[in-house]
Amino acid sequence: LLLAGGGRIDADLVVVGIGAVPNSELARAAGLMIDNGIAVDERLCTSDPDILAAGDCCSFPLSHYGGRRVRLEAWRNAQDQGARAAANLICAGEHIASVPWFWSDQYELTLQISGLAEGTAATVRRDLEEGAFILFHLDGEGRLIAASGIGPGNAVARDIRLAEMLIAAGAKPDPQALASPDIRLKKLLAA
């Protein structure tokens, strides 16, 4: 590879992840506000309160992250937002309150991530059976903001789901409890 600065990198294989560009041309032509996609509020309303947007094409504020505006390219987000937008069209007034969640199968391993790790001040590792593990990401105040785990099959699924619930609750779990596979996350959630 020849780099823009003149450097060179020898490689046998290159994997390039360039992201995705949201299709917002129609929204832009309609005069709607664009901010890394169609900008919506917590009820999925665009800058025109009579027009809602949902899914991969829109960016929205996440209350669990101080109102930070994000755009999520995941099927669960699109499904949840589609249902919420439909409810809001009939004046339900439902707000976006979900925690981001992603998964990917990589050969015999499954990767699951809950939350957004940006702003991590400390990371705690919990080792599970079969070589699986979870990394819990805490902010500077000790609040759990994300969890990422990898293992065979569904080895991390239950704990990632419980971590998602802890994130939604704004929990500040004891790091030693997070690290210990003997302490169930459900117990931390109940506390």
Cβ neighbours of residue 65 under 8 Å, at least 6 residues apart?
116, 119, 145
What pLDDT digit, counting tens, does each position of 85-102 carry? 999 998 888 888 889 999
Global pTM value: 0.82
Residue with tokens 């994300």: 146
pLDDT score, position 46: 96
Annotate 46-58 with three-state secondary structure. CCCCCCECCCCCE
Please report, as a single letter, which amino acid is at residue 72.
L
Q: Taking 80 as the threshold, does the pLDDT of residue 110 lie above it?
A: yes
Query: In this structure, how many other beta carbons lie within 10 angstroms of the beta carbon of residue 63?
Result: 14
What pLDDT digit, counting tens, does each position of 156-174 carry? 999 999 999 999 999 999 9
Report the relative pairing of strands 133-138 and 144-152 from DSSP bridges. antiparallel
Distance of CA 74 to the CA centre of its chain: 9
Q: How many CA atoms lie within 13 A of 186 on its CB side?
A: 1
Helices marked H in 53-120 = 75-89
Cβ neighbours of residue 96 under 8 Å, at least 6 residues apart?
42, 43, 44, 60, 61, 62, 63, 81, 84
Mean pLDDT value across the chain: 92
pLDDT score, position 21: 86
What pLDDT digit, counting tens, does each position of 9-64 carry? 999 988 887 778 888 999 999 999 999 999 999 999 999 989 999 999 999 999 88
Q: Taking 80 as the threshold, does the pLDDT of residue 188 lie above it?
A: yes
Domains of the chain: 1-98 (3.50.50.60), 101-190 (3.30.390.30)
Nearest to 119 by CA among 103, 98, 150, 141: 141
What pLDDT digit, counting tens, does each position of 125-165 carry? 999 999 999 999 999 999 999 999 999 999 999 999 999 99
If DSSP codes are grouped into helix, strand and coil, which group holds residue 176?
helix
Q: For residues 78, 26, 21 and 68, what is the CA-based torsion angle, rounded to 10 degrees?
A: -60
Do residues 92 and 98 touch, judged by C-beta distance below 8 A?
A: no
> Which tokens sit at 9?
């990198």
Share of the chain above pLDDT 90, in %: 75
